[in-house]
Structures are given as C-alpha cells and as structure tokens.
C-alpha cells in the first residue's frame, strides 16, 4: 500500500483550519449582501464585522483599521503608491525603499515607477542593513515628497526575522511611512502594529489556515490613507470597493481567531519539531547548509542547501517520495529559479535551496519520514558524484 503524502509546505499555503472550514460552511447559509440594510444584509454585515475584530486582535489593531482585500498582493499594491491623503489633503510619497529580500508582491514596487524604487541591501545574516537604510533616509529629498519604506517581518524563504521595530524608528525620524509585510509572521510570532511602529501591515488568510482569496491591509490610524486601488461602490469605507467576499472573510476571521488562541502551544511544539528536523538533517547530510540558522527565525521554517543538488532536482525527488516541500517562494507561477534572497545574502544562488515549512498538524513521525527521505536523496547524490 502506497504511503500517504506528507505536506511540509505550510509557508506556501496552510491547509484549511477546521475552525475556518466550519465557519465558512455556516456562512454559506447567509443570504444577504453585507451592504444591504434589510435583515439578511445586516446578518451578513454582522458576520463580516466579527471577522474584522478577529483579524484586528491578531494584529494588535483597532477593528476599524482593518481593510479587507482579495489577498496580500492586492493589499501591497494598494498601499505601495505615491498618492496618499492626510484627511482630505493630498500627500505625495516620492520614493519607495524596499529590502532586497522582499516578496515579489512588494519588491516589484506596487504603483511606484521603477526609477522611484530603491533596494536596501541585507547583511550576510539576511537582515536588512540598518546603517544603509539610515543613510538613504538622511539623503532623501524631502522637498519632493515623503519616503516610504517596506520591510517584511519574516522572510518567506528563510524565515529570518527582520529588525522592523528598529527600522520603524529610523523611518519615523525621517518623517516617512513604514509598511510591514507580516504575511509569514502572522500566527508565528507576536504581532502588534503599534509595538512594531508600522503605519501599515499586510496579512493573508491562506497563510494562517483560512481560505485563499482573502487578505487585509491593516492601518495604524484612519487619517493617513493611500489612494484606493479599486474604485466603485465605496465598500470598506471607500478604501476598497466591491462587495465583500463574505464567506472567505468569515473563514479568514475564524483562522485568525484560532491562530491567536493556539499561538503559544502550537509554536512551542513546532519549534521543537524544527529543531528535531535540523538535527536529523545534519546527521544524514553533514555538509547541509541551513540558511539563517544563527539568526532569529519564525519557528516553522528550514531553508537549506545540499551542495551538488539542484533545487528542482531536490524538489522533484522529495515529491516522488510523497513529500511536498518547495524550492523557495511558491508565488512565481510554479517556476523554480534562482533565489534572489540567497543572492542578497551573498550566497551563490546557483547552489539552490529547498524549504521545509511546518504547521500545527506536523508530527514527530512526519519529521522522521522527511529525514529518512533526505538521507536517501543525499545517498544518491554521493553515488552520482562517485560515478562522475
């Protein structure tokens, strides 16, 4: 009998949490449009607002400061814009500074012109170079507009945590706007928009066990806001038009509630499992390189290189053994290419790397199976090298 498949790609998407599934099934019986004033509409609105409170609790924000979107990419494109308003007064943001290890949704610059986007380098340990950031902000032309800085809290490939609170102080001193991509951090590290000092947070439903197709832009206030990306009927207080995806939003809220409720227990367990995984990897493949292992990381992520093994070869080998892992970000239309994150850290991107990411359903037996698969792959690699 063939072994059941093992899913170890939680950073790409988390399986639907039972709480989210149950909430969505109940939501399917809600008939009204949440913008209608009749009883059915009010019932839908109440459910959406309950979900808004759940997402707000997960991010340390006020419910009124959560704007629902179709996902993190839309939220990024919404906030990464030169056009803002301070109340009713237009405000110009003339340059965007992004870390070199950002997710493509942020690294592409949103609605900024290419010439108005500057990359901030990272150190060899994968964290943003704060000295360079400070220099860029000091030399920024404030007469032409405000600077915007976008730095992710947790990297999607390595899991490395960025010094966002320290960066926030530099941005505030320069009078700029600070955007934090918290997609991979939500549910894995404590998240509080005010403690971070961010003006905006980006979060995603399907990374925390909610459905795909929902996300949010979380703001620190309601006065400073970007020009809407989607115009229409004025939903979400005019910030994001279009009838709310009620079922997905309710699932998102349930997943956020579960992530907050289970936070401590799930992360203690997952940290222990990742340590077991990496100890086992070193035993079966002593030359394995674990990227970011000496830097603060989210507890569920292991990004590693087996010298001599290409990323696509390794990913296929694991898949043939029934284990789903990734070769980095899963957000490039299924492509397996060189990692811009490794390149930014000063590593040879041609080395290739694989990502194992764990979740609440991962067990010790799953970890042992992954180690055994890695041992077989490492053994075949040695045989191939000897034959050559």
192 and 275 in a single domain? The answer is no
Both structure tokens of 54: 């759940």
Q: Which of 211, 237, 261 is the last residue of a domain?
A: 261
For residue 158, count CB atoms less than 10 angstroms from its CB and return exposed for 0-12, middle for 13-18, buried for 19 or more.
buried
Question: Which of 330, 331, 333, 354 lies closest to 342 in space, CA to CA?
Answer: 354
214 and 188 co-located in one domain: yes
pLDDT in tens, 59-116: 999 999 999 999 999 999 999 999 999 999 999 999 999 999 999 999 999 999 999 9
Q: Which of 261, 279, 307 is the last residue of a domain?
A: 261
Q: Give the closest residue to 99 by CA, choosing from 123, 73, 67, 63.
A: 123
Q: Which tokens sit at 158?
A: 């390595």
- Is residue 131 in some structural domain? yes
pLDDT of residue 347: 86
Same domain, 236 and 340: no
Residue 243 located in a structural domain: yes
Catalytic residue among 130, 331, 343, 347: 331
Task: Judge whether 187 lies within some domain.
Answer: yes
**Is 148 contained in some domain?**
yes
Asked, for residue 290, whether it belongs to a domain, the answer is yes
Per-residue pLDDT, 230: 96
Does residue 183 sit in the same domain as residue 133? yes
User: Does residue 114 sit in the same domain as residue 233?
Assistant: yes
Domain assignment of residue 103, given as a range: 21-261
Tokens, residue 97: 């500074």
Cα gap 371→284, rounded to integer Å? 8
Q: Does residue 331 have an active-site annotation?
A: yes
Paired sense of beta strands 224-226 and 66-69, if any: unpaired
**Do 43 and 123 fall within a single domain?**
yes
Question: Could you tell me if 285 and 335 lie in one domain?
Answer: yes
165 and 70 share one domain: yes
Which residues make beta-bridge pairs with 304? 290, 354
Which residues of the chain register pLDDT less than 50?
1, 331-333, 386-388
Number of domains into which the chain is organized: 2
**Residue 370 and residue 316 share a domain:** yes
Query: Is 102 in the same domain as 239?
Result: yes
Here the CATH number for the domain that contains residue 122 is 3.40.640.10
Of 210, 243, 261, the domain-final residue: 261
How far apart CA 200 and CA 76 sit, in angstroms, is: 10
Q: Which two tokens stand for residue 240?
A: 């994001």
Going by the DSSP 8-state scheme, the letter that residue 53 receives in this structure is H
- Confidence at residue 108, expressed as pLDDT on a 0 to 100 scale: 95
Q: Which two tokens stand for residue 201?
A: 């947070």
Q: Are 33 and 44 spatial neighbours (Cβ–Cβ below 8 Å)?
A: yes
Residue 145, number of CB atoms within 10 A of its CB: 17
Indicate if 225 and 347 belong to the same structural domain. Answer: no
Q: Rounded to 5 degrees, what angle do the CA atoms 44, 50, 56 make?
A: 135
**Token pair of 119 as six digits:** 């990359």
Buried b (16+ CB within 10 A) or exposed e, 64-75: ebbbbbbbbbbb
The reply to whether 156 and 256 lie within a common domain is yes
Residue matched to tokens 């000295």? 131
């Amino acid at each position: 009998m063939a072994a059941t498949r093992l899913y170890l790609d939680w950073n790409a998407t988390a399986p639907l949490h039972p709480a989210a599934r149950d909430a969505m099934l109940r939501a399917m019986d809600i008939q009204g449009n949440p913008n209608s004033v009749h009883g059915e509409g009010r019932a839908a609105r109440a459910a959406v607002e309950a979900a808004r409170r759940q997402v707000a609790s997960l991010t340390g924000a006020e419910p009124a400061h959560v704007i629902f979107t179709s996902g993190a990419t839309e939220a990024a494109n919404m906030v990464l814009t030169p056009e803002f308003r301070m109340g009713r007064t237009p405000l110009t943001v003339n340059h965007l500074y992004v870390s070199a290890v950002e997710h493509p949704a942020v690294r592409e610059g949103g609605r900024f012109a290419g010439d108005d986007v500057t990359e901030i380098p990272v150190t060899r340990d994968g964290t943003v170079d704060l000295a360079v950031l400070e220099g860029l902000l000091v030399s920024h032309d404030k007469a032409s507009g405000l600077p915007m800085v976008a730095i992710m809290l947790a990297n999607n490939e390595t899991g490395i945590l960025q010094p966002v609170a320290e960066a926030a102080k530099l941005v505030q001193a320069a009078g700029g706007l600070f955007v934090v991509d918290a997609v991979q951090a939500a549910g894995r590290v404590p998240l509080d928009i005010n403690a971070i000092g961010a003006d905006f947070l980006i979060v995603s439903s399907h990374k925390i066990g909610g459905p795909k197709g929902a996300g949010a832009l979380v703001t620190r206030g309601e006065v400073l806001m970007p020009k809407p990306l989607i115009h229409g009927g004025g939903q979400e207080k005019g910030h994001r038009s279009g009838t709310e995806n009620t079922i997905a939003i309710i699932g998102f809220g349930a997943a956020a509630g579960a992530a907050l409720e289970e936070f401590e227990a799930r992360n203690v367990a997952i940290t222990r499992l990742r340590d077991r995984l990496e100890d086992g990897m070193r035993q079966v493949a002593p030359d394995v390189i674990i990227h970011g292992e000496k830097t603060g990381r989210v507890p569920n992520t292991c990004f590693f290189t087996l010298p001599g093994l290409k990323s696509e070869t390794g990913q296929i080998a694991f898949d043939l053994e029934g284990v789903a892992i990734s070769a980095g970000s899963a957000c490039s239309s299924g492509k397996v290419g060189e990692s811009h994150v490794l390149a930014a850290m000063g590593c040879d991107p041609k080395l290739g790397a694989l990502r194992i990411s764990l979740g609440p359903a991962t067990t010790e037996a799953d970890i042992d199976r992954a180690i055994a698969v890695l041992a077989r792959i490492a053994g075949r690699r040695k045989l191939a090298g000897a034959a050559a």
